[in-house]
C-alpha cells in the first residue's frame, strides 16, 4: 500500500522548550497549593516574626526578610518542585513527553525555568511587602543584588529538590521527606549568627545551604558588609548546587520504578 | 522543489530544524528490529527479538504478562536503551537519530497520563507543538470534535472516562500524522462499544497508509484487526504469521488440541505455546 503523502517534522530544541514552558507555566499557575506555599508562607512568616516582645531576638528587619525569602525558596525549590516531579513521574507524564522528538533535557530545563520564575515573583512580593509593612527599604542596587542572591538560592534549593527526587523513588515517601526537610533547611538558617545553641551548631548552621543564603542575603541587603565570609558563602552555594545537581541528575529515573 | 521530489518518491517529507529534505527511501518496511536484547540487571526482558513490519501493515505482538512486549515497544520508542541489537524506523536508526526516529512514530503508552493541571485543548496544543505541528484553537476544536470530545475541551484529563482518555491518547499519538503508530494495549479496560470504535480507528489508520504495531492480550482483537501477529514469551518470539496461518500451522499440535474447546482458535495456539501457568 502506498502511504498517504505527509510531512514529518523534527522541531528545534528552542521551539520544544518554548512549547514546554508555556504548558509548565500554565500548570504552575493553576496549582493553588504551590502558589500558597510560594507566597503565603513567607509573607505570614515575615509578619509573624515581627510580632511579640522578643521578636528582636531573632534578628532585625533585614533578617526577617531573608528568613521569609529562605522559607519561600525551600517551599518552591525543594518541596514544591520535588513533589511535582515525583507526581508526574509516578503518573507517567514524563514518559509520554519523552516519546516526542523534544530533546529530553528540555523537559527538565523547562521545569527549572518555571521554578526560577516563581522564585523571582516571590522575592519581589516579599521585598515589596517588606518595604510597605516591615519598613525595610533598600537602595535600588541592593534590591537587584537581593533578587540575584534569591535566584542563586533558588538554584541551591532546586538542586536539593532534584537530589531528593533522584534518590527517592516513591512520591509518598518523598512527600514525607520533603516536609521533614523544612526543619534542617530552615531551622539551621536561624542559628548562623548566634551561639545560643553552642558554637558547633552555629558553625554548621552558618555553612548549611540555608545559612549560606542568610549570609548572602544579609550582605545583599546591606545589613552586613560584604566580607570573606560572604565570598565563602557564595562559593559554598555554588558547590552545593553542583554537588546536589549531579546527584539528582545522575540517579534520576524518568519512569516509576 | 526538493520537498516536491520527496513527496513524489517517498510519500512524505522531513523537516529537521526548519529545513525540508528528502525522506529516506521506502524499502517497504516501516520497522526493522534485529536481534534486540534488553536487560534489567541480570534479568533478560527481551532476548534476541527480530521482526519486520511492512508499510501499511497492522502487526500484533501477543504474549502473557512479562513476556517482553512492553520492553520491546519501549526500546523502539527510545524509552529504554537496548543492550544490543538494531532498530530502524523507515531506515532511520533509532539510536543514531533519536529525534528523527521519534518524529516518525506515534505512541500510545500502556498507561498514559498528562499534566493534571492542563485542559484537554491545552494538552493537544502542547503535544502538537512538540511534534512541530502548529494548531490554531479552531483546528484543535475540530480534532477534538472528530473524536467526540469537542464538548470536553475545557475539562481535565482525569475528568474523562476511560474510553475518552484512550481516544484522546490516540489523537495525540497521531497528531503529527506519523507513518508508524505504536499502541501498547490500546483497548485494555474498554467496554465493547469503545473497543469496536477503536478498532475502526485503527482500521482507518491503515487505510490512510500508516503501519501499526500493537500489543494486546485479546486474541479476538488480534484476529479482528491484525494482518500478522507474533507470539512472544520469555523475551523471545515464538512464532510469526497471519492469524489464520498460525491456526493452520498449529491445528494438529497435541497441545493445541488439548487447549481447544471445539474449533481451534488463536487463543488455543497462544495457550499451547505459552503454557497454562499464571503470570504476574
From residue A198, give the alpha-carbon distance in Å to each of A78, A195, A211, B101, B202. Answer: 28, 5, 15, 61, 71
B76 touches chain A (CB under 8 A): no
Identify whether A4 is part of a domain.
no
- Same domain, residue pair B239 and B225: yes
- Same domain, residue pair B94 and B120: no
Residue A45 has a pLDDT of 82
- Same domain, residue pair B135 and B262: no
Section A177-183 average pLDDT:
79
- Same domain, residue pair B160 and B222: no
Is A96 in contact with B112 (Cβ distance < 8 A)? yes
pLDDT-derived band at B4, boundaries 50, 70, 90: very low
Is A8 in contact with B17 (Cβ distance < 8 A)? no
- Same domain, residue pair B188 and B79: yes
pLDDT-derived band at A198, boundaries 50, 70, 90: confident
A20 touches chain B (CB under 8 A): yes
The string of pLDDT tens digits covering residues B161-211 is 888 998 999 999 999 999 999 999 988 888 888 888 888 889 888 888 899
Range of the domain at B194: 2-104+178-274
Q: How far is the C-alpha of A51 from the C-alpha of A44, rounded, in Å?
A: 11
Of B177, B192, B214, which residue sits at a domain end? Answer: B177
Residue A37 has a pLDDT of 66
Do A142 and A185 form a contact (C-beta atoms < 8 A)? Answer: no
Section A71-77 average pLDDT:
88
Identify whether B210 is part of a domain.
yes
Residue B6 has a pLDDT of 34
Of B177, B208, B232, which residue sits at a domain end? Answer: B177
Q: How far is the C-alpha of A38 from the C-alpha of A166, rounded, in Å?
A: 22
Is B131 in contact with A6 (Cβ distance < 8 A)? no
The string of pLDDT tens digits covering residues A1-52 is 444 446 677 889 999 999 999 999 999 888 876 677 678 888 888 888 766 6
Identify whether B84 is part of a domain.
yes
Do B183 and B214 form a contact (C-beta atoms < 8 A)? Answer: yes
Identify whether A8 is part of a domain.
no
pLDDT-derived band at A187, boundaries 50, 70, 90: confident
Best of A32, A84, A89, A99 to substitute, by most chain B Cβ atoms within 10 angstroms, is A99
Is B78 in contact with A99 (Cβ distance < 8 A)? yes
- Same domain, residue pair B92 and B73: yes
- Same domain, residue pair B204 and B194: yes
Best of B113, B120, B211 to substitute, by most chain A Cβ atoms within 10 angstroms, is B113
- Same domain, residue pair B212 and B239: yes
Domain count, chain A: 1
Best of A101, A102, A110 to substitute, by most chain B Cβ atoms within 10 angstroms, is A101
Answer yes or no: is pLDDT of A123 > 80. yes
Is B115 in contact with A103 (Cβ distance < 8 A)? no
A71 touches chain B (CB under 8 A): no
The string of pLDDT tens digits covering residues B80-125 is 999 999 999 998 999 999 999 999 999 999 887 899 899 999 999 9
Identify whether A237 is part of a domain.
yes
Return the bridge partners of B215, or none: B61, B184
Q: How far is the C-alpha of A221 from the C-alpha of B230, rounded, in Å?
A: 69
- Same domain, residue pair B195 and B216: yes
Distance to chain B for A24, nearest Cα, Å:
9
- Strand arrangement, sheet containing B58-62: B105-108, B180-184, B211-216, B58-62, B228-233, B236-241
Identify whether A7 is part of a domain.
no
Cβ contacts of A100 on chain B, cutoff 8 Å: 102, 127, 130-131
Give the 3-state secondary structure of A121-160: HHHHHHHHHHHHHHCCCCCHHHHHHHHHHHHHHHHHHHHH
Identify whether A201 is part of a domain.
yes
Between A100, A103, A255, which is nearest B127 by CB?
Answer: A100
- Same domain, residue pair B166 and B215: no
- Same domain, residue pair B64 and B35: yes
Q: How far is the C-alpha of B122 from the C-alpha of B95, rounded, in Å?
A: 31
Is B178 in contact with A8 (Cβ distance < 8 A)? yes
CATH code (residue B188): 3.40.50.300
B162 touches chain A (CB under 8 A): no
Is B115 in contact with A2 (Cβ distance < 8 A)? no
Put simply, the chain A residues between 93 and 122 with a CB less than 8 A from any chain B CB are: 93, 95-103
CB pairs under 8 A between A and B: 135
- Same domain, residue pair B73 and B128: no
Q: How many helices (H) and strands (E) does chain B have?
A: 11, 12
pLDDT-derived band at B16, boundaries 50, 70, 90: low
A5 touches chain B (CB under 8 A): yes
Is B133 in contact with A9 (Cβ distance < 8 A)? yes
Distance to chain B for A255, nearest Cα, Å:
9
Q: How far is the C-alpha of A51 from the C-alpha of B152, rounded, in Å?
A: 50
Domain count, chain B: 2
Residue B1 has a pLDDT of 33
Residue B10 has a pLDDT of 45
Q: How far is the C-alpha of B161 from the C-alpha of B241, rounded, in Å?
A: 35
Identify whether B279 is part of a domain.
no
Range of the domain at A107: 14-48+57-250
Between B26, B130, B209, which is nearest A100 by CB?
Answer: B130
A2 touches chain B (CB under 8 A): yes
Residue B187 has a pLDDT of 87
Identify whether A256 is part of a domain.
no
Section B240-254 average pLDDT:
90
Amino acid at each position: 500500500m502506498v502511504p498517504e503523502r505527509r510531512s514529518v517534522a523534527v522541531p528545534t530544541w528552542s521551539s520544544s522548550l518554548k512549547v514546554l514552558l508555556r504548558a509548565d507555566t500554565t500548570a504552575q499557575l493553576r496549582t493553588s497549593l504551590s502558589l500558597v506555599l510560594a507566597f503565603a508562607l513567607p509573607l505570614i512568616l515575615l509578619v509573624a516574626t515581627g510580632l511579640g516582645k522578643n521578636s528582636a531576638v531573632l534578628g532585625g528587619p533585614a533578617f526577617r526578610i531573608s528568613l521569609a525569602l529562605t522559607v519561600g525558596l525551600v517551599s518552591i525549590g525543594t518541596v514544591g518542585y520535588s513533589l511535582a516531579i515525583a507526581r508526574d513521574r509516578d503518573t507517567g507524564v514524563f514518559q509520554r513527553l519523552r516519546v516526542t522528538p523534544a530533546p529530553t533535557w528540555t523537559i527538565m530545563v523547562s521545569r527549572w525555568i518555571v521554578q526560577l520564575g516563581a522564585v523571582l515573583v516571590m522575592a519581589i512580593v516579599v521585598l515589596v511587602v517588606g518595604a510597605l509593612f516591615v519598613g525595610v527599604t533598600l537602595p535600588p542596587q541592593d534590591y537587584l543584588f537581593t533578587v540575584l542572591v534569591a535566584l542563586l538560592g533558588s538554584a541551591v534549593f532546586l538542586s536539593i529538590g532534584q537530589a531528593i527526587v533522584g534518590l527517592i523513588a516513591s512520591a509518598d515517601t518523598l512527600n514525607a521527606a520533603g516536609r521533614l526537610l523544612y526543619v534542617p533547611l530552615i531551622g539551621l538558617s536561624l542559628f548562623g549568627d548566634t551561639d545560643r545553641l553552642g558554637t558547633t551548631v552555629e558553625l554548621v548552621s552558618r555553612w548549611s545551604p540555608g545559612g549560606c543564603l542568610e549570609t548572602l542575603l544579609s550582605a545583599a541587603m546591606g545589613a552586613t558588609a560584604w566580607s570573606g565570609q560572604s565570598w565563602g558563602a557564595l562559593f559554598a552555594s555554588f558547590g552545593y548546587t553542583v554537588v546536589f545537581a549531579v546527584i539528582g541528575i545522575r540517579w534520576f529515573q524518568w519512569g516509576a520504578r | 522543489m526538493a520537498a516536491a521530489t520527496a513527496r513524489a518518491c517517498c510519500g512524505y517529507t522531513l523537516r529537521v530544524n526548519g529545513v525540508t529534505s528528502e525522506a529516506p527511501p521506502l524499502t517497504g518496511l516501516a520497522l526493522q528490529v534485529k536481534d534486540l536484547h534488553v536487560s534489567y540487571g541480570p534479568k533478560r526482558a527481551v532476548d534476541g527479538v527480530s521482526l519486520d513490519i511492512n508499510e501499511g501493515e497492522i502487526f500484533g505482538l501477543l504474549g502473557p504478562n512479562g513476556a517482553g512486549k512492553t520492553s520491546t515497544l519501549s526500546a523502539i520508542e527510545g524509552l529504554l536503551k537496548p543492550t544490543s541489537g538494531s532498530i530502524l524506523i523507515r531506515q532511520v536508526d533509532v539510536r543514531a537519530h533519536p529525534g528523527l526516529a521519534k518524529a516518525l512514530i506515534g505512541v500510545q503508552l500502556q498507561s498514559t497520563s498528562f499534566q493534571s493541571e492542563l485542559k484537554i485543548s491545552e494538552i493537544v496544543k502542547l503535544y502538537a507543538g512538540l511534534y512541530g505541528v502548529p494548531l490554531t484553537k479552531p483546528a484543535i476544536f475540530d480534532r477534538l470534535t472528530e473524536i467526540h470530545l469537542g464538548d470536553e475541551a475545557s475539562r481535565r484529563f482525569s475528568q474523562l472516562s476511560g474510553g475518552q482518555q484512550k481516544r484522546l491518547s490516540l489523537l495525540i499519538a497521531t497528531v503529527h500524522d506519523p507513518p508508524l503508530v505504536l499502541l501498547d494495549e490500546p483497548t485494555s479496560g474498554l467496554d465493547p462499544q469503545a473497543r469496536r470504535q477503536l478498532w475502526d480507528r485503527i482500521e482507518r489508520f491503515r487505510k490512510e497508509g500508516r503501519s501499526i504495531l500493537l500489543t494486546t492480550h485479546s486474541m479476538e482483537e488480534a484476529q479482528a484487526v491484525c494482518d500478522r501477529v507474533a507470539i512472544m514469551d520469555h523475551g523471545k518470539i515464538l512464532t510469526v504469521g497471519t492469524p489464520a496461518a498460525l491456526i493452520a500451522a498449529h491445528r494438529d499440535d497435541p497441545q493445541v488440541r488439548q487447549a481447544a474447546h471445539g474449533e481451534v482458535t488463536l487463543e488455543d495456539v497462544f495457550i499451547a505455546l505459552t503454557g497454562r501457568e499464571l503470570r504476574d
